[in-house]
């Protein structure tokens, strides 16, 4: 019963990111343009003695593209991705097979993956190419003739124009180690600049991922500074060109570090910036406002819902559901505007007109209004209801917003303060009281920004939302017991004593898509999931085992003296059978904290061995299953099955 009230996922429908003003559809298209030259194809040895692999820059780029493709299927299922190889001997474009050389529109441009939402076959093909499978590698042959960059850019232009019309964000990712493609020809250079301007005017953003050669640092000023624009066409405030980023990719890395830095910098651009709200006033005092934009930097990623598939055709097809609403009595179709919301009340429905409904929900225009400041310590760790919103200044409504915001952010950082704000993120949104805290910029080891500098608005719970803590019997622990536990904790710090979300992919989400991928590509379904959230048991045992023993003995001693033997311990739910260790593992140092006389696990195990699990009572079965994290729903036969399964798995 608790389950039904207890909703873990926060399905907040009015939080979808929408662009209120634009006629463009809020979608993203990324086209990789990967330079296939002989230097790009030269493998670079890795210095790592343990993993003597060789990776060429081109293959690193393809792996990144493959990685991004897989990732976007999960995170942005409606966004497009494509891969264009250039500088290849062969050419491929729509309806052109590259055989007759004369009528080629874009020679040495090979559209390997057309710009679209990827299909399973395309994922497979790209993977084959990235993993150096022979057949696929016939494509990766550099041409002797130099490819015209103007042509490459116009080719990209045509792909975007025809495949991703009216997209809010269109991005061309160029991966190359050539910093001066047309050093010798002025006209080819100018042609490239003109085509780059076309892309800019079309609203396509160029993101460069430069790779330095072992003997030569990539120098953007030689060519690329002329084709890349300072601001992104779709997002005027976004600096398309964050300098620190590109510096890192230009490091003369060996194969693996090149791949890693490329991955890191592509990952940081994997999704275009989409705002949650734009130009909302941040009111510092009466008559003093600046404007800010809001972004969702943290949002729970859920697997896409299941859909219906039509199997009547040659290939399975997704059926689109269309909902029509009709009146219950007459059956005639009703328009949205005819529908009113009703509230159940006293067995009947109470209704409001649309205008009244709107008036009820209207608590004023969107605003973030500061009503005062408090030390950061006033914000309790429990006072949280959902993910925060990130805000960053915008100069569009108020010139000077950036400097005021910066002054406020620095003051709050310096003095460890928070601002208490009245928060209405968008029109007709429910207002709430929120804590606005300053966030510092964080960069990773490659110098790529991980957490941007700005402020976070954390919605606070209302008095209505706070529940009463249930009472229970508390026993103050003696100091030596606490110290013993401190020793255990001290042994098990996470790296750098911080939680890094990047190290923990969501295991159930990954598994869901891993299986789908296997089914879609007709591969074998993998046996065991790769779950990074599973604790490192062996390491824990090695590092903290002895301290744990000390602590547990102390618990036993104290419990004995405080509660006298077993009297105070709850009767049955006390023992579990030891987890069977694999032969190679060190012997189990299991600690039985629990006292008590009845031994549930042993009883159940004995019953199992006698084949008499069915004779156990329901409460015992339930307690046993709960203790082992198994479900306890269902009839007795189900529970018996589950218990038997539990032991069968262990044998």
CA dihedral 411→413→416→419, nearest 10 degrees, is 70
Positive or negative, the Cα torsion across 558, 562, 564, 569?
A: negative
Q: Which is nearer to another protein, 213 or 450 (CB)?
A: 450
Part of the chain binding another protein (CB under 8 A), chosen from 48-56, 82-90, 142-150, 564-572: 564-572
Q: Least distance (Å) from another protein to the CB of residue 183?
A: 16
Q: Per CB under 8 A, which of residues 124..153 are in contact with another protein?
A: none
Residues 62/129, Cβ–Cβ less than 8 Å = yes
Q: Please count the residues of the chain.
A: 651
Q: Which is nearer to another protein, 44 or 170 (CB)?
A: 170
> Tokens representing 163?
């495949």
Part of the chain binding another protein (CB under 8 A), chosen from 36-44, 89-97, 177-185, 515-523: 515-523
Part of the chain binding another protein (CB under 8 A), chosen from 132-140, 252-260, 572-580, 607-615: 572-580
Q: Which of 49, 215, 502, 635 binds another protein (CB under 8 A)?
A: 502
**Can you name the residues that pair with 173 across neighbouring β-strands?**
32, 207
Q: Tell me the site size for another protein, rule CB under 8 A.
A: 279
Q: Which of 40, 74, 153, 258 binds another protein (CB under 8 A)?
A: 74
Per CB under 8 A, 449 contacts another protein: yes
Q: Least distance (Å) from another protein to the CB of residue 211?
A: 18
Per CB under 8 A, 75 contacts another protein: yes
Q: Which is nearer to another protein, 422 or 647 (CB)?
A: 422
Distances (CA, A) of 221 to 35, 158, 170, 312: 19, 27, 24, 57
Distances (CA, A) of 163 to 105, 116, 208, 222, 293: 17, 7, 22, 32, 30
Q: Least distance (Å) from another protein to the CB of residue 107?
A: 18
Q: Which is nearer to another protein, 321 or 611 (CB)?
A: 321
Residues 372/430, Cβ–Cβ less than 8 Å = no
Q: Least distance (Å) from another protein to the CB of residue 54?
A: 28
Q: Which is nearer to another protein, 344 or 610 (CB)?
A: 344
Residue 643 has, within 13 A of its CA and on its CB side, a CA count of 38
Q: Per CB under 8 A, which of residues 301..330 are in contact with another protein?
A: 301, 303-304, 306-313, 315-330
Q: Which of 16, 184, 524, 535 binds another protein (CB under 8 A)?
A: 535
Residue 364 class from Cβ within 10 Å (0-12 exposed, 13-18 middle, 19+ buried)?
exposed
Residues 24/315, Cβ–Cβ less than 8 Å = no
Residue 612 has, within 13 A of its CA and on its CB side, a CA count of 8
Q: Per CB under 8 A, which of residues 44..73 are in contact with another protein?
A: 73
Q: Which is nearer to another protein, 53 or 552 (CB)?
A: 552
What whole-number distance in Å separates Cα of residue 188 and Cα of residue 214?
27
- Short-list 273, 80, 270, CA closest to 165: 80
- Short-list 171, 187, 184, CA closest to 228: 171
What whole-number distance in Å separates Cα of residue 210 and Cα of residue 203?
22
Q: Which of 50, 51, 138, 474 binds another protein (CB under 8 A)?
A: 474
Q: Least distance (Å) from another protein to the CB of residue 607?
A: 21
Q: Per CB under 8 A, which of residues 451..470 are in contact with another protein?
A: 451-454, 456, 458, 460-470
What whole-number distance in Å separates Cα of residue 152 and Cα of residue 155?
5
Q: Which is nearer to another protein, 191 or 616 (CB)?
A: 191
Q: Per CB under 8 A, which of residues 392..431 are in contact with another protein?
A: 392, 395-412, 415, 417, 420, 422, 430-431
**Can you name the residues that pair with 55 across neighbouring β-strands?**
44
Planar angle of CA 319, 322, 324, nearest 5 degrees: 155
Q: Which is nearer to another protein, 58 or 164 (CB)?
A: 164
**Tell me, what DSSP letter sits at residue 148?**
P
Q: Which is nearer to another protein, 45 or 165 (CB)?
A: 165
**Can you name the residues that pair with 213 across neighbouring β-strands?**
216
Q: Least distance (Å) from another protein to the CB of residue 87?
A: 23
- Short-list 180, 187, 98, CA closest to 138: 98
**Tell me, what DSSP letter sits at residue 213?**
B
Q: Which of 188, 251, 271, 614 binds another protein (CB under 8 A)?
A: 271
Per CB under 8 A, 572 contacts another protein: no
Site string for another protein, 326-365 (x = CB under 8 A): xxxxxx--x---xxxxxxxxxxxxxxx---x--xxx-xx-
Q: Least distance (Å) from another protein to the CB of residue 177?
A: 20
Per CB under 8 A, 117 contacts another protein: yes
Can you give the C-alpha Rg of the chain in angstroms?
31
Part of the chain binding another protein (CB under 8 A), chosen from 94-102, 135-143, 471-479, 599-607: 471-479
Per CB under 8 A, 257 contacts another protein: no
Q: Which is nearer to another protein, 98 or 453 (CB)?
A: 453
For residue 27, what is the enclosing H or E element?
A: strand 25-35
Q: Which is nearer to another protein, 141 or 299 (CB)?
A: 299
Q: Per CB under 8 A, which of residues 368..397 are in contact with another protein?
A: 369-388, 390, 392, 395-397
Residues 293/237, Cβ–Cβ less than 8 Å = yes
What whole-number distance in Å separates Cα of residue 644 and Cα of residue 651?
11
Part of the chain binding another protein (CB under 8 A), chosen from 86-94, 130-138, 253-261, 478-486: 478-486
> Tokens representing 516?
């789908």
């Amino acid at each position: 019963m608790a389950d039904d009230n207890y909703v873990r996922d926060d399905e907040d429908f009015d939080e979808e990111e929408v662009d209120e003003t634009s006629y463009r559809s809020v979608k993203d298209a990324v086209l990789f343009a990967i330079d296939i030259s002989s230097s790009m194809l030269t493998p670079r040895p890795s210095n790592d003695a343990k993993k003597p692999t060789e990776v060429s820059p081109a293959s690193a780029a393809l792996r990144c593209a493959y990685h991004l493709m897989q990732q976007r299927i999960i995170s942005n299922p409606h966004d497009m991705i494509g891969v264009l190889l250039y500088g290849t001997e062969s050419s491929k474009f729509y309806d052109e097979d590259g055989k007759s050389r004369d009528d080629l529109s874009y020679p040495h441009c090979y559209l390997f993956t057309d710009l679209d939402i990827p299909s399973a076959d395309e994922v497979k093909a790209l993977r084959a190419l990235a993993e150096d499978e022979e057949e696929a590698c016939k494509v990766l042959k550099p041409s002797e003739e130099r490819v015209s960059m103007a042509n490459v850019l116009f080719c990209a232009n045509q792909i975007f124009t025809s495949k991703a019309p009216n997209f809010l964000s269109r991005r061309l990712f160029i991966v190359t180690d050539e910093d001066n493609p047309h050093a010798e020809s002025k006209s080819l250079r100018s042609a490239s600049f003109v085509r780059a301007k076309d892309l800019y005017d079309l609203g396509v953003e160029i993101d460069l991922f430069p790779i330095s050669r072992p003997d030569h640092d990539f120098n953007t000023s030689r060519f690329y500074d002329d084709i890349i624009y300072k601001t992104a066409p779709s997002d005027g405030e976004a600096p398309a060109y964050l300098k620190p980023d590109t510096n890192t990719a230009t490091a003369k890395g060996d194969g693996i570090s090149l791949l890693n830095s490329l991955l890191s910098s592509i990952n940081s651009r994997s999704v275009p910036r989409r705002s949650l709200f734009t130009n909302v006033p941040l009111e510092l005092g009466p008559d003093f406002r600046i404007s800010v934009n809001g972004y969702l930097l943290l949002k729970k990623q859920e697997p896409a819902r299941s859909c219906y598939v039509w199997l009547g055709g040659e290939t399975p097809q997704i059926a689109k559901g269309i909902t029509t609403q009709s009146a219950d009595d007459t059956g005639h179709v009703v328009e949205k505007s005819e529908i009113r919301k009703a509230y159940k009340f006293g067995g009947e429905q109470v209704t409001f007109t649309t205008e009244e409904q709107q008036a009820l929900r209207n608590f004023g225009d969107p605003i973030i209004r500061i009503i005062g400041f408090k030390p950061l310590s006033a914000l309790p760790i429990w006072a949280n209801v959902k993910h925060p919103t990130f805000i960053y200044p915008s100069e569009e409504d108020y010139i000077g917003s950036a400097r005021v915001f910066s002054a406020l952010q620095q003051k709050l950082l310096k003095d460890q303060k928070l601002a208490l704000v009245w928060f209405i993120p968008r029109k007709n949104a429910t207002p709430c009281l929120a804590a606005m805290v300053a966030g510092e910029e964080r960069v990773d080891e490659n110098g790529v920004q991980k957490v941007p500098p700005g402020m976070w608005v954390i919605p606070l719970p209302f008095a209505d939302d706070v529940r009463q803590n249930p009472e229970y019997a508390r026993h103050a622990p003696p100091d030596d017991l606490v110290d013993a536990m401190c020793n255990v904790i001290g042994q098990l710090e996470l790296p750098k004593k911080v939680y890094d979300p990047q190290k923990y992919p969501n295991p159930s989400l990954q598994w869901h898509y891993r299986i789908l991928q296997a089914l879609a590509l007709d591969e074998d379904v993998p046996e065991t999931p790769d779950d990074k959230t599973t604790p490192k048991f062996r390491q824990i045992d090695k590092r903290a085992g002895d301290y744990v023993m000390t602590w547990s003995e102390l618990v036993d001693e104290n419990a004995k003296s405080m509660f006298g033997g077993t009297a105070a311990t709850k009767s049955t739910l006390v023992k579990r059978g030891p987890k069977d260790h694999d032969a190679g593992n060190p012997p189990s140092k299991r600690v039985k904290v629990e006292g008590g006389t009845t031994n549930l696990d042993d009883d159940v195990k004995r019953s199992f061995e006698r084949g008499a699990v069915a004779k156990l009572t329901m409460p015992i079965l339930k307690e046993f299953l709960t203790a082992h994290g198994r479900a306890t729903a269902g009839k007795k036969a189900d529970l018996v099955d589950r218990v038997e399964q539990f032991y069968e798995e262990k044998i």
